[in-house]
Amino acid sequence: MDRRYALLWFGHRGDCDARSTVPRYRGYDALVCTACMLDFVPSCTMCTTAARSLGDHDGYRHYTFAGMCPECVHRVRSAGPWKQRRAAALAARVDALAEAFAGLVIERATTGKRVVMSGAVGDRHVRFTLKLAAREYEDERYVLRAELLVARELGAVDRSALLLDPALLERLSEGSPKIVRDDRLWLRIAFLHLGKIDAIVAARGLLASAEALDRA
């Protein structure tokens, strides 16, 4: 397949009988195999808007976009070069978290690409790590930790234990949440992307989740 379109073709599931076939279409639609991925609908990675179906052709369902929707692409491109956008986005998230949680201070900052914020919120410590991608098409990384005051076994935690908005639960990184330890015992959650308001909502949900686990 033409490499220019490779990211827009979702191909097949591993057990699909038609997985050896390659669509003859060469264009910018997102293609989904109608035999094995009929239940899959691409959605915008920023605003979660579902892509519109353009119909079926030669065993593939065509959708209007993959990745970001046209509206979000336009908004992002209008904001300027990606390095400037991401630096501004990181600063905005740091400022928003500092305003929402007065006890936070910047523990460590690396040339505007990685910021670690920590401090006390109520009776427990928190540590938030916000990391920008080094390359344009890499994902960001947001790791939020809230201290657990009651001893618990290290390892994975069921997502049902988190008091997070369902939309944020769906966006958790693989392997999240879990309980980890360094200088403290932490409940840790991670995301590849968080908006400014989402970062505050996720942090508050994490604190509520840590409190609930301590009471359990």
Which residues have C-beta within 8 Å of that of residue 95, sequence separation ≥ 6? none
Residues forming a β-bridge with 188: 145, 178
What mean pLDDT comes out for the span 90-117? 88
Question: What's the chain's average pLDDT?
Answer: 84
What architecture does CATH give domain 80-215?
A: 2-Layer Sandwich (3.30)
What mean pLDDT comes out for the span 85-96? 86
What mean pLDDT comes out for the span 77-87? 76
- Write down the pLDDT at residue 3: 39
Domain ranges for the chain, please list them: 1-78, 80-215
- Write down the pLDDT at residue 179: 96
Distance, in Å, from the CA atom of 115 to the CA atom of 127, rounded to the nearest integer, reads 10
Q: What residue type is assigned to position 118 of the chain?
A: S
- Write down the pLDDT at residue 137: 56
Question: How crowded is the C-beta side of 22, counted as CA atoms within 13 Å?
Answer: 6
Distance, in Å, from the CA atom of 199 to the CA atom of 168, rounded to the nearest integer, reads 10
pLDDT digits over 197-213, tens only?
Answer: 999 999 999 999 999 99
Distances 146 to 118, 164, 186, 209 between C-alpha atoms, Å = 10, 14, 5, 9
pTM: 0.64
